[in-house]
Amino acid sequence: MLASQFSPFEDLAMALLPHATDHTGDGSHDISHLCRVWKNAARIQVGEGGDVEVLVAATILHDCVSVEKNSPLRSQSSRLAADKASGILAALGWDQLRISMVHHAIEAHSFSAQIAPRTLEAKILQDADRLDAIGMVGVARCFYIAGRMGSALYDLEDPEARCRSYDDRNYAIDHFHTKLIKLTAGFQTKTGAGMAQVRHERLQRFLDAFMDEI
């Protein structure tokens, strides 16, 4: 049962999972992504503390509104998801304080929103979500999204961007430089930062091998 991925909060997961995605067909922000983010968040929480139930709710609902990477509304997606999540939790009888904790965690998790996380739960969710953007899963998601956007793998004439600006809307490999290899420097928790370093090294090895092959 899918809810068992969020043990021991199966009942909460069963209530929230039907609202977790908006069914856009984006395989980089699907249920499997939520399960991976929760696995990361749970591991960080063991080392850092924090309200686990708030983390479960924030993890499951953090992508409940999905905006494509090339949309002008992209920077608003986490706020829209946070607002939707608040309504869902209110309908389940959650009190306003805990709803606000989930709202802030969701709103602050997004790289494009540029909102500093103020609470431990928000810091953990941001770290857990960004862990899924680096390492080998991050590589796979990068090229999957590039395919959805119709991007090329790289600029044939200048793959290393020596005489041009990086352009990750048109070239998948440029996204490593505009975002992915920068993420490790911004982790919020000690546990998350340690996990990130391992994945960052994998990411860098892939990038080096890719550039060598082309």
Q: What pLDDT, on a 0 to 100 scale, did the predictor assign at position 29?
A: 84
Claim: this prediction has a pTM higher than 0.85: yes
- Read off the tokens for 198: 């391992």
pLDDT > 90? residue 112? no
pLDDT digits 0-9 by tens, 26-85: 888 889 999 999 999 999 999 999 999 999 999 999 999 977 666 666 678 899 999 999
pLDDT digits 0-9 by tens, 182-191: 999 999 999 9
Percent of the chain with pLDDT over 90: 86
Calpha distance 52→60 (Å, rounded): 12
Calpha distance 163→99 (Å, rounded): 49
pLDDT digits 0-9 by tens, 126-135: 999 999 999 9
- Read off the tokens for 181: 């290899």
Size (the chain), residues:
214
Q: What pLDDT, on a 0 to 100 scale, did the predictor assign at position 191?
A: 98
Calpha distance 50→198 (Å, rounded): 23
All domains of the chain in start order, with CATH:
1-115 (no CATH), 133-214 (1.20.58.1910)
